[in-house]
Structure 1
């Protein structure tokens, strides 16, 4: 009696394992093709590695600077929050970068949050200089010291306070 449920379960498992997933295209104009694994691989490729993270962090870094210069403390805090989010997402995709970014994530960014809470432009400028140094130190740890971050000179965003 016990063998029949086992045989039935085995049969369904065998059928399930034998069935091949159908390939289908999804997305606008069907750009995402293949089986589930192929689609996930393509989505991961589209998300990119840490270089895409750095594009967003670079934008947020510049916006942070100009927010501090404008003394727009809410906008400055907003930028730090998004730098943290971008870094966390990038580190999920590239966990090998976690060790070199540890002090940046655990010390530098919280320090910037504290500086912003003081709402003092002179303190902000000092904190921003430390942030810039920390960016460059992290790049050096990754063997990419040729990527030297400097205080922004030109404002590209239309956001003003």
Structure 2
């Protein structure tokens, strides 16, 4: 019985100390912009990371860079873009798992296929695959009820990266 009371008392003390630490949490970050309890700070960081729209900004940038890398036949840079598209999508899907079903084919079939095409270093084959990638992007948008977001092959290069 004494052991049980000791464990209960220890548990209460631990919980009580954690609660007090939560209340006394200090602001962090440059100029203390991140403040509140630990939970509030995590919520703010999650908010700052954003939802899937921020993922799409990065994927859109890398989609364009992938295209221009292939046009330059800079296959190392193209491979780099595919890797980062995958990474951005995985991170975005962690934040918005409700989007995973729509992105499943894209992640499991389309992107691995594009990786294979980049490894072949054949511009003509890549262009055919890139059209398929573009269609897959648009199909995913349609699945999410956002068919007004229409992706097209880039017409203008905006990045200073050249090969």
Q: Do they fold alike, i.e. is TM over 0.5? A: yes
Deviation of 1:12 (Å) = 2.1
C-alpha separation in 1, matches of 2:57 and 2:35 = 27
Structure 1 residue runs of 5 or longer lacking an equivalent are none
Q: CA deviation at 1:8?
A: 2.2
Quote the offset at 1:6 in angstroms.
2.4
CA distance in 2, matches of 1:93, 1:29: 27
The residue aligned with 1:83 is 85
CA distance in 2, matches of 1:27, 1:76: 35
> What stretches of structure 2 of length at least 5 have no aligned partner?
none
Q: TM-score, normalised by structure 1?
A: 0.95
Q: Name the count of aligned residue pairs.
A: 159
Distance (whole Å) between structure 2 residues aligned to residue 4 and residue 143 of structure 1: 61
How far off its partner does 1:11 sit? 1.6
Instruction: Report whether the alignment pairs 1:13 with 2:11.
Output: yes
Q: 3-state DSSP class of the match of 2:152?
A: coil
2:100 — aligned with what?
98
Task: Give 1:42's aligned residue.
Answer: 44
**Structure 1: which 4+ aligned runs deviate by more than 3 Å?**
none
Matched residue of 1:43: which SS? helix
Specify which of 53, 74, 79 is matched with residue 72 of structure 1. 74
Root mean square deviation of aligned Cα = 1.0
